[in-house]
A and B are shown apart, each in its own frame.
Chain A
Amino acid sequence: MAVTVRIPTPLRSLTKGEETVTAEGGTVRAVIDNLEGAHPGLRERLLDEKGIRRFVNLYLGDEDVRFLDGLDTQLKSGDELSIIPAIAGG
């Protein structure tokens, strides 16, 4: 199934500038694996050995997936996954 992933500006260098990309997968983990195939390097920016990096948040709609089932959160076709990294600067 296809879901839309919103890519934040700091990570768009990995998606050739695309603001949103489409990825396949029935869980957040599967979608990230699929993203890595199309956009190498993205998984490392999102995950570490413990799971989702602590300064990155993944939202399914308006819900933080940490408060759902984390990387095992189920997705359905048409869902929107947003990546929200910590940023500093101004």
Chain B
Amino acid sequence: MSAARVLLIGLGGLGCPAALALVRAGIGELVLCDDDVVDEGNLHRQILYGQADVGADKLDAARAALAHTAARTGTRLTLVRERFLPDNARALARSVDVVIEGADNFATKFLVADAGRLEQRPVVHGAGIRWVGTAWAVSGAGHPCYRCLFEDVPVGAQPNCDSAGVMGPVVGVVGACMAELALRVVSGRPCWGELWSFDGKVDVLRRVAVSARLDCPLCGRSPSIDDTDESRYQGGSCAA
């Protein structure tokens, strides 16, 4: 574990608890990728930040919050001050052992899925909205992958993330699940293709085995996705 490099995309409600758990676990290197700044509306769920961080880069605030523990556990923190985009996605994925994404939009989720598969890197996906969240780990070979389950970027009008809201405890639980899934990968005990779904209104964690699709364009029998061209990632921003 102390030799593992993990890329964490998105330092929001999911990324904050996941980062905290990974640093405390003593992961070798945690690469943090985000270009956003802390907003007051983030504070109820993004547990690495406080009131004094409002307006600061999330990367800087997160590093300050994690530095003391990272020094104790030996985790190296690396900051990537840019968005995860089609032109840097594959290189970033290639540079690590595991990718974790807690992105708040579908374009990034599908991009991470594609980059992970094309670079043969495992991906842990996480999502949360209102009272529900999901987490699951995908092998670098897929079978199944994110596109086996959700096929393509949703199009058309979708409820907006901002208006839908996110409950802080829900993303706390899901972020911890994401860290656990990543730790299982790096420790050689992965849990591929099992979708964990947490419902905060009834406090139930359900697990469903995701099936691989033979006609999946990313990991199926005759895959058609062989690059991360930006045209693949058009569509709505938040399905609910």
Contact = CB atoms under 8 A, between A and B. Distances in A.
Given A10-B159, A10-B164, A89 B129 contact: yes
Contacts of B195: 84
Interface residues of A, number: 21
B102 interface: yes
Interface in A32-56: 54-55
Contacts of B239: 10, 55, 85-88
B3 interface: no
Contact of B15 (A19, A87, A90): A90
Contacts of A55: 106, 150-152, 154, 239
A86 B208 contact: no
B47 interface: no
B130 A90 contact: no
Contacts of A19: 199, 201-202
Interface residues of B, number: 47
A90 B132 contact: no
Contact of A84 (B152, B154, B174, B208): B208
Interface stretch (B6-14, B75-83, B85-93): B6-14
Interface string B67-78: 000000000000
A76 B161 CA distance: 37
Given A54-B150, A55-B151, A86-B154, A9 B197 contact: no
B103 A62 contact: no
A90 B14 contact: yes
Nearest to B206: A82
Contact of A90 (B12, B159, B208): B12
Ranked 7 nearest A-B pairs via Cβ = A90-B14, A10-B240, A54-B151, A89-B129, A9-B132, A86-B150, A90-B128
Interface of A: 8-10, 19, 54-55, 57, 59, 62-64, 66-67, 82, 84-90
Given A89-B127, A89-B128, A90-B104, 20 more contacts: A9-B201, A10-B132, A10-B239, A54-B151, A54-B152, A54-B154, A55-B239, A57-B150, A62-B209, A84-B195, A84-B208, A86-B106, A87-B128, A88-B106, A88-B237, A88-B238, A89-B129, A90-B10, A90-B126, A90-B174
